[in-house]
Amino acid sequence: MNLLKIESVELNHAPKQHRLAPFLGGNLLQFWQPIRIVAGNVKTENHQPPLGRQGHMDRSHNPLFLLLFALLLSTLQGCVQHASKSSPLQANTSRNITLPPAEHSQQNYLLTAQNNPHDLWQRIRDGFQLPTVHQQQFRSQMHHFLSLEHFFENVSQRAEPFLYFIVDSLEKRGLPTELALIPVIESAFKPLAHSSSKAAGIWQFIPSTGRLYDLKQNHWYDGRRDIYASTLAAINLLDDLGKQFNGDWLLAIAAYNGGPTMVLKAMAKNRRLGKPTDFWHLELRSETQRYVPKLLAIRKIIRNPKRYRINLPLIPNHPQLAKVNLSAQISLKTAATLAELSTAETTHLNPAFKRGITSPHAQYLLLPMEQAKIFSFNLKRIQRQRLKKTEPSREKSRKNHYRVQQTDTLWSIAYRFGTTAPQLALWNQIDLQYKIRVGQHLRIASGRGKTTEVTFKTRHPLHYRVKKNESLFLIARRFELNIADLRRWNRIDYGQQPNVGQLLRLTPERKVRLNAS
C-alpha cells in the first residue's frame, strides 16, 4: 500500500498571466476614461469642452460658423459610435459600476473547480477567520512562496495523513482553520524537523514549552514529534494565546513564534509612546515580523491556488489515521508486520519513538484506518494463541521466584523463561525502566510443582552467522535481543564488534532452577 498516494485535481488554467500579476498590478489592461466616485461606486462621465465663452457669442450666430459646427458634431458622433461598438466596457458611460472588496474579487477568481466538499482544503477555506490585510504588507512573502517550485504539492503530500485530525481538532475548539497552516511555516509538515534552537516536530515545540504542555521527552520518546500529542498541545497553546490577546489572532500567532512576553513588551512600549498596539505597528524581532505575513501569504494562496497557478492536490475530507491503544510495549517492526505495512511507513506515522519501540508512557500507535483493523485482528489472534500455550490455569497457577544474578536484566530473564520483558514487569508490578538489583526476587508465573526446570525457548534460531556491515546493535535489534546479553553469551568485550562469518550464539544454553515460594 502506498500510504502517501495523492489524488490530484485537474485544473483549468486561465489565460496566461504572470503569477504575481494579480497582486502586483491587477488587470494589466487599463481603460483610460474620466471617472468620479459616487458613494463607493464608480461612475464614468463624458466631459465635453465648452462650446463657447462669454464675450464670443457673436461667432455662434454666423451661418457659416453654424454650418461648420454642425459638420464637426456629425464627425464626432460617428467616432463615438464606432468606439462604443469596439469597446463594450465604454459603451454606456453613464452606468454605475459597483466595485467588490479586493479579497472578495480574489476569492471568486476561477473558483468553479475548487468548491469541492470532498476536498479538505475547501473545508479549511470555509473556516478562515483571520482579518484581511492589504497586499503590500506581505507581498514579499507571496513572492517567496510562489517562487518555490512544487512547494505546495510536496507540503500537501506530507500533510495528507495528519491534516484531517488537525483541522477537525481546531473546529471542535472553534479556532480559525488558518492555524492548521502553521506547520507549513514551522516544518513544511516534516515530522522529524528540528531547528538550531532545539525545536522539534511539525509544530516545532522547544523543550521547555513542550514540557509545559505535557509533552514528555525521554530516551524512549519525544512527545514533540508525536503527531497526536503535539497537535493537541499546539491547539491548547494557541487557544491560550488567543484568550491572552483578547481574540487578536495576529498577536497570538506572533506570540506563538516569539513568545508572549516579547509581544507584551512591544505593546507596552507602544502604549507609552501613544502608538497603536496592533501587530503591524509593533517593533518585534525580524523573524516574528515575517512570521505573520508568511501565514497570511500562505492563507491567500490556499484560498485560491488557481489564481496563482498553484497545483494543490486534493486531500480527502475524511479521517486518514486511527489511534490504536496498546497494553504493552511493541517494536515498530513487529507492529508493521501485524499491520501489513512497511517499517518505514509505520515509523513515518510514529516518529516520536526514538528507539524503534513504543514507549511505556505513550501506549498507542497511529496507523492508517484499514491497517489499524488488520493490526488489531492479527494482534488479538496472536494473543489468543499465546494464552493457550503459556498462560497457566488459575487453579494450578503458582507464583515462583527467581533471584536476580549479576549482569541480569529484565530482558535476559524474560528470554530465559520464554516470556517478554513487559510481561515480566507486569507480573512484578514494576516499570520497564526500573533497575533490578542483584539478589532481588522476581515472580515468574508457572503451572508446575514446587520445583520447576525451565529450558529457554525462542522464536529465532540458536545461532547466527555475521554478515558484512552488520554490527551487534543491528543483530540484537533484528532478533529483538538485549545487546548486553549478546555480548555476554559470545564473550565480546565492549567496543569490539564480531567478525564477518563469525557464528554468534543467540541464546544461553543452560537450565534455570526455580525455587517455589
Do β-strands 463-465 and 35-38 pair in parallel, antiparallel, or remain unpaired? unpaired
What pLDDT sits at residue 442?
Answer: 86
338 versus 116: the higher-pLDDT residue is 338
What pLDDT sits at residue 64?
Answer: 58
Where helices occur in 330-409 by DSSP H, the ranges are: 332-339, 343-349, 369-390
What pLDDT sits at residue 204?
Answer: 97
CB burial class (10 A; 0-12, 13-18, 19+) of residue 311? middle
Average pLDDT over residues 17-31: 34
Average pLDDT over residues 213-222: 93
Mean pLDDT of the chain: 74
Reply yes or no on whether 186 is catalytic.
Answer: yes
- Most confidently modeled of 244-253, 304-313, 356-365? 244-253
pLDDT at residue 285 greater than cutoff 60: yes
Q: What percent of the chain has pLDDT over 70?
A: 68
pLDDT at residue 61 greater than cutoff 80: no
Would you give the end-to-end CA distance of the chain in angstroms?
A: 52
Where helices occur in 274-354 by DSSP H, the ranges are: 286-303, 332-339, 343-349
What pLDDT sits at residue 433?
Answer: 63
What pLDDT sits at residue 125?
Answer: 95
- 438-472 per-position pLDDT tens digit: 888 888 875 433 333 333 344 455 678 888 878 88
pLDDT at residue 41 greater than cutoff 60: no
Within 8 A by CB and 6+ apart from 67, the residues are none
Burial annotation 282-294 (CB, 10 A radius, 16+ → b, else e) = bebeeebbbbbbb
pLDDT at residue 192 greater than cutoff 90: yes
pLDDT at residue 51 greater than cutoff 50: no
Average pLDDT over residues 391-412: 65
Confidence class of residue 149 from pLDDT cuts 50, 70 and 90?
confident
What pLDDT sits at residue 49?
Answer: 39
What pLDDT sits at residue 407?
Answer: 75
What pLDDT sits at residue 9?
Answer: 26
Q: Which of 82-96, 172-186, 225-239, 255-269 has the lowest mean pLDDT?
A: 82-96
| Cβ contact 283:292 at 8 Å | no
Distance CA 491, CA 510 (A): 16
| Cβ contact 222:248 at 8 Å | no
- 253-275 per-position pLDDT tens digit: 999 999 999 999 999 999 999 99
In whole angstroms, how far apart are CA 63 and each of 49, 54, 66, 232, 275?
Answer: 21, 19, 5, 90, 70
Catalytic residue from among 186, 345, 370, 480:
186
Confidence class of residue 218 from pLDDT cuts 50, 70 and 90?
very high
8-state DSSP, 60? G
pLDDT at residue 191 greater than cutoff 90: yes
In whole angstroms, how far apart are CA 271 and each of 102, 253, 309, 349?
Answer: 31, 20, 43, 47
| Cβ contact 517:450 at 8 Å | no
What pLDDT sits at residue 431?
Answer: 67
- Most confidently modeled of 217-226, 383-392, 490-499? 217-226
Distance CA 210, CA 121 (A): 28
- Most confidently modeled of 16-20, 59-63, 430-434, 489-493? 489-493
- 101-110 per-position pLDDT tens digit: 333 333 332 3
pLDDT at residue 429 greater than cutoff 50: yes
Q: Which of 6-10, 349-353, 396-400 has the lowest mean pLDDT?
A: 6-10
